[in-house]
Chains A and B, each alone.
Chain A
Amino acid sequence: MDLNFTADELAFRQEVRQWVADNLPKDISHKVHHALRLSRDDMQRWAKILGKKGWLASGWPKQFGGPGWTAVQKHLFEEECARAGSPRIVPFGPVMVAPVIMAFGSPEQQTRFLPGIASGEVWWSQGYSEPGAGSDLASLKTRAERRGDKYIVNGQKAWTTLGQFGEWIFCLVRTSNEGKPQTGISFLLIDMKSPGVTVRPIVMLDGEPEVNEVFFDNVEVPAENLIGEENKGWTYAKHLLAHERTNIADVNRAKREIERLKRIAKAESVYDDARFRDQIALLEVDIVALEMLVLRVLSAEKSGKQSLDIAGLLKIKGSEIQQRYSELMMLAAGPFTQPYVREAMEAGWQGDWFARFGDCAPLAGNYFNFRKTTIYGGSNEVQRNIVAQTVLG
């Protein structure tokens, strides 16, 4: 047992740290460190910078143009990016659909789609949830009927994160009503510029249009956009879930955000209040414990000896920690989080009263927004079902 990274891993970390320091635009990291509003351009600018370096596809094997990093290297890369204040990589392309295309797509599909994902040129969205299919995803109803060399798609997707920016969307669609619900689902790639696709933003409780409804009205999709075999989509989607392990915990971002919490607590004069400080201490312990859990998973992957079947735990704990730091930041600022001034979320905004409110503007909104973390990606109750299954058999 050894807590320390190897000399090679530390050298790798240093290389990443230097590169990020040299290449992450300061206006973007400023927004991230202060939780100000990021534009589409901010997110894509950073994605393209990473793409040019070949690091947007950080989890990809070399044969598909990825850096071929180990799980530990990928963790260190994510840690350095988070630490420096880079925006989270929008995961739908490089992290979610790409592994499915690599594992189950045809060579033609791989050649056609992967380069645009790796470079950050093409914005992908995820079309899984529907108004009637949330945690019970397999009950989804969006239909795709085969007609000649096309599928005709009709239905509605919901909660499509940043779908207003999407150019392509990967969808789970129903191609059969026979047998179990899971066996009639296919995995389809759809050009969002196709006639019949309508995107309608949903304003969330923080006032921001972060997610969308996506409507499909007789949308024609070339049959060549089907991944793998018809009615096997559920299997492919599950592969995707298995692919995502440690970064679902987002512990690296939590380490950065608790530093912000401490800064805010100091600025708001509650850092030296023992009752408040103890709450930070408890969160600190949670974060160290989660980081240890993540490192254990990485170590198990590295050794190949045993796999730790605790992805559900990482999601539950990681999301609870996100909610807790956003909550404590808001509580630190207290009544000064009350003003709702949407412009104050823009970098450089100067209200004449604003200076006295420091970094308070985004705090309540972030707290409201983060209620999503225990709901999305398989609600924490669904995760508990999964954990219980592994424990009880």
Chain B
Amino acid sequence: MDFEFTDDQLSLRDAVARWVDKGFSFERRHGIAKKGGHTRDVYGELAELGLTGLAVHESHGGMAFGAIEAMVVMEELGRGLVNAPYAAGALVAPSVLAQAPAALQSAWLPRIAAGEALVVLAHQERASRYRFAQVATTAKRAGNGWQLSGHKSVVPAADEADAFIVPARTGGAGDDPKGIALFLVEAGAKGSHVQGYATQDGGRAGELKLADTPAALIQEDGFATLENAIDVGIAATCAEGVGVMDKLVALTVEYMNTRKQFGATLATFQALRHRIADVKMQLELGRSMSYFASLKLGEPAAARRRALSQAKVQLGNSMRFVGQQCTQLHGGIGVTDEYIGSHYFKRLTMLEMAFGDTMHHVGEVSARMTDTTGVFA
């Protein structure tokens, strides 16, 4: 039982933090967001740091680092409010492609590791909400290959991606986990159509429509792999949330110690002091459960799914509380577009809804409840 970071992990953290300090100012981010949230250049800079190869196996040119390294990077990207689709491209996609046939792996993983290719998971559908077994997109055999038809929604960086990982039905219906296969669809493939848009939190996403679009099969019985990918996404979301909260709390503390009203700094008023104590509570519970999420990623599926849902409940509550309260503690400046804090709040808000919101995961924890409770239960 040890929650210390290794020297290598600390160096990794430092490298990301230094890049943020030097190369990713709030002005730059704000400019990107105002122009629609295109971040492929930013993603390229993360690739130059070697970060896009973090989760890719060494045989494909990656570093084969583990969940804790991913967590460290996500915390720092959160702290810097980096709006590039790092988790989607460098963590979630490789976790799925590791299950692909060898030829497909060789075709894509080295390019992902190098940052040349951005591949993202396109799993959400308008009718599925957070129930990702609810898949209406269909797959049918066509000659030696497959063709997909359907509509995937709010796909990260959709109009900047080079390919999509698409869950589609080869059988079953509704929310049956059986019959869900995973495919790779290249951007611009015949019959595909992408409509990009800016997101509330300064990034980019889009709709992906497929009509008899050719696709490469990643895995035929793919639901377990999809579940695992969602959990990788949850752990990344939790870690990013910790970084975002850390920075927002630091901004708020600084503000409370400088802003004066009634002739005294905000930090002298007990009502506000108690509020920041409650914020600190949510931050530390959140950090604890983010560690928990990453440490549990390697567990067998049942324990992993339960743990990741528990973590997402805590982080969802923490992110909402910290975001709302830190905004309140800033007063009027906190609700302006020019102030950096409001952008942290918006990111926290969207992170709560990524990969299942708090209410959804409370339901998951309920459904997966056993007689015992605890970190090792």
Contacts and interface: CB of A to CB of B under 8 A. Distances in A.
B256 interface: yes
- Residue from B4, B68, B256, B270 whose CB has the most chain A CB atoms within 10 Å: B4
Interface stretch (A167-175, A285-293, A347-355): A285-293
B102 interface: no
Contacts of B296: 3
A307 B232 CA distance: 30
Interface string A282-304: 10111111111101101110110
B362 A282 contact: yes
B256 A392 contact: yes
B277 A259 contact: no
Interface stretch (B21-29, B174-182, B281-289): B281-289
B1 A299 contact: yes
Interface of B: prevailing SS: helix
Interface residues of A, number: 51
Size category of the B interface is 35 or more
Interface string B362-374: 1101100101111
B192 interface: no
A290 B284 CA distance: 10
B280 A299 contact: no
Interface string A269-287: 0000010011011101111
B3 interface: yes
A284 B365 contact: yes
B274 A384 contact: yes
A5 to B, nearest CB: 5
Contacts of A300: 3
Interface string A1-40: 1111110010000000000000000000000000000000
B213 interface: no
Contact of A285 (B267, B295, B365): B365
A313 B284 contact: yes
Contact of A391 (B276, B313, B365): B276
B281 A5 contact: no
B273 interface: yes
A163 B373 CA distance: 34
Contacts of B285: 286, 289-290, 293, 317
Contacts of B278: 384
Contacts of A289: 285, 288-289, 292, 314
Contact of B292 (A259, A292, A299): A292
Contact of B2 (A285, A299, A387, A390): A299
Interface in B333-371: 362-363, 365-366, 369, 371
A316 interface: yes
B373 A255 contact: yes
Interface in B153-192: none
Nearest to B4: A303
B253 interface: yes
A162 interface: no
B2 A2 contact: yes
B51 to A, nearest CB: 19
B375 interface: yes
Given A2-B1, A3-B1, A381-B274, A278 B369 contact: no
27 contacts: A1-B291, A1-B294, A2-B1, A3-B296, A3-B375, A259-B371, A262-B371, A274-B366, A281-B366, A285-B313, A288-B310, A288-B373, A288-B375, A289-B289, A289-B314, A292-B375, A295-B375, A312-B277, A313-B284, A384-B273, A385-B274, A388-B274, A388-B276, A390-B280, A391-B249, A391-B253, A391-B276
Interface of A: 1-6, 9, 72, 255, 258-259, 262, 274, 277-278, 280-282, 284-293, 295-296, 298-300, 302-303, 305, 310, 312-313, 316-317, 381, 383-385, 387-388, 390-393
10 tightest Cβ-Cβ pairs between the two chains A and B: A292-B288, A388-B273, A387-B277, A384-B277, A281-B365, A299-B3, A281-B366, A289-B285, A3-B295, A277-B366
Given A281-B369, A287-B374, A303-B2, 18 more contacts: A3-B295, A3-B375, A6-B1, A278-B366, A287-B373, A288-B310, A288-B373, A290-B285, A291-B374, A296-B3, A300-B3, A302-B1, A312-B277, A381-B274, A385-B277, A388-B277, A391-B253, A391-B279
